Chain A
Amino acid sequence: MKLNDLERAMLGGELGAAVKAAIEHQVKVGEFFGAADFVPVTQAHIMADTESLGQAGVAWLESIADDQGRVRVPTITDPRGTDFAKTAVLRHPAWIVELERRAVQAFTRLGVMMTDTCINYQTIQAPARGESVAFGDTGVVIYANSVCGARSNYEGGPSAVAAGLTGRTPRYGFHLDAQRKATLRIRVDWTPQMLNEWGALGGLIGRLAGNYWAVPLVEGLAAAPGSDALKHFGAAMASFGSTALYHLAGITPEAADAGGSRSPLSHRVGETDVKALTSAYAGEEEIDVVVFSAPQLSLYELRQLAVLCDGRRFAKPLLAVTSPQVKPDADRFGLTARIEAAGGHVLSGMCFYQSYAREIAEANGWKRLATNSVKLVNILGGYGYVPLLASMERCVEAAQSGKLPAKDQ
């Protein structure tokens, strides 16, 4: 890789051991992908729940903090592994809480802002078109690339930390114009309405795309989806396909320049195809818990949930997970109180699958989990759950009756 004077100084250790380790890691990754040089980034976003980090990862964070590491660009965090105010609800043991506290302390010493959110594009600062960033959550990356027209690869935790410390990232993948062109063209004959349907369509397209380097151009949507719909659509696509960028014809900013409109049609997708994907997670089943998470809920989703909770009393636990930026507004506007009056819990700063989902299941006896998140059902099978996918309305019904109703109300 071609390095400038500052980057050579970093590599030579002139800016400290932490920065040296960071840029060594970045050069290793950059050379694997044939990066010609580095691209400066304006912000970094780190996925670093302690279930992923483990003791070894937390110790590594502490070591680079001990080495006087300090981020050079605004650097924020993805959800934590617990909500410190709700550990009793989750039955997180003391060792989990303590490990989380150590991670928070290490990040704080590094100058990282503990935003603890996977919806920073809705709550902190959405990147602008052409802005190069180093984001570390697949849902965040796909939204930033596709909806905002910003530029990011998937930056796993160590690489996002490195980008924060060096203020740059190797120039490969979706930082390059050529990589952002459409590689497959998909015609959609059906436009979803509910968020779980948007997620299912996204998951199906992700499955068709198949790998990180594929860029779908999607045509045929009857109307432009809103931010929450695109949030679920992209998060599910990234989850099923490891997809990092899509274009929606006539909607997303780079679609007109994506170059796929004259390509042969790769796939045609209709409601039947989407139903086929969701059938794997369908059922009129007894449930143990209802979870709204992955991604964290926006204020508008919480508002919708609060309306559905009014006048109900839940027989099963209902968890609604949001960001620390949204939660105070949900409190101020009475949404939290309405959800919790029905017996639900509004949690903040975590995400269900990043919060020791296996330990939560064992501690609470939860196995059959209902959610409207396609990303969540795709993940939780590996954690031993039987995940069931339904609309928010049906999930709330299930929390009250203990069983998923047959049809949407």
Chain B
Amino acid sequence: MAHDGFSARYDLDRIHGTFSRPAHKLAGQSYVGKVLVLDTAKGGVATAWMLHEMASRGVVPLALVLNSVNPILVQGAAFGDVTLLAGFDGDITARVPHGATVEIDPARRTLRVL
């Protein structure tokens, strides 16, 4: 979890599965198999392809949870079949502690901290 943005091209070393942008609050940490709770989608359009590519190699987040998204993240999640949850009553990055275990129900659009 971090109150920071998300872009697959800008923020990730997709070969090693880590956040690589030095200024990102999760720099150096692995994203593989994790539920990423972040603020908003940033950057360009490449994420639409990259989530699919990352999923094909198994170097992909388990789910993306954001306060707000742009079309690219939605298109990428749809194309790459990655779980995406966005649009909450409050700031989701303030409600989920870093490192917490969470349960997501995409159909009901709910997230529960366990």
Contacts and interface: CB of A to CB of B under 8 A. Distances in A.
B20 A158 contact: no
A154 interface: yes
Interface in B22-66: 22-24, 40-50, 52-53, 55-57
Given A138-B44, A379-B9, A382-B20, A211 B49 contact: no
Contacts of A157: 45-46, 48-49
A262 B18 CA distance: 45
Given A28-B78, A242-B42, A382-B11, A57 B52 contact: yes
Contacts of B44: 47, 137-138, 238-239, 379
Given A158-B78, A212-B71, 17 more contacts: A25-B75, A29-B71, A29-B78, A33-B71, A52-B9, A52-B50, A52-B53, A57-B49, A57-B53, A156-B48, A157-B49, A158-B75, A211-B41, A239-B43, A379-B44, A382-B10, A382-B20
B69 to A, nearest CB: 8
Contact of B68 (A28, A57, A136, A211): A211
A56 B10 contact: no
Contacts of B48: 47, 156-159
Contacts of A353: 9
Contacts of B56: 54-56
B74 A33 contact: yes
Contacts of B55: 56
A361 B53 CA distance: 22
A60 interface: yes
B9 A137 contact: no
Contacts of A53: 49, 53
Contacts of A382: 9-13, 20-22, 24
Interface string A236-266: 0011011010000000000000000000000
> Dominant SS at the A interface?
helix
Q: How large is the interface on A (under 10, 10 to 19, 20 to 34, 35 or more residues)?
A: 35 or more
**Across the A-B interface, the 7 shortest Cβ-Cβ residue pairs:** A156-B48, A54-B53, A56-B56, A212-B70, A382-B21, A52-B49, A158-B79
A350 to B, nearest CB: 14
B2 to A, nearest CB: 15
Contacts of A384: 20
Interface string A28-48: 110011000000000000011
Interface residues of B, number: 38
A227 B47 CA distance: 28
A378 interface: yes
A56 B80 CA distance: 10
B45 A212 contact: no
Nearest to B42: A242
Contacts of B71: 29, 33, 153-156, 159, 172-173, 212
Contacts of A213: 68, 70
A47 B74 contact: no
A56 to B, nearest CB: 4
Given A155-B71, A156-B72, A52 B78 contact: no
Contacts of A192: none
Contact of B70 (A56, A60, A154, A158): A154
A173 B23 CA distance: 30
B41 A212 contact: yes
B74 A32 contact: yes
A29 B42 contact: no
A379 B24 CA distance: 12
A25 to B, nearest CB: 6
A12 interface: no
A238 B43 CA distance: 7
Interface in B73-112: 74-76, 78-79
Interface in A143-158: 153-158
A383 B56 CA distance: 21
Contact of B74 (A29, A136, A242): A29
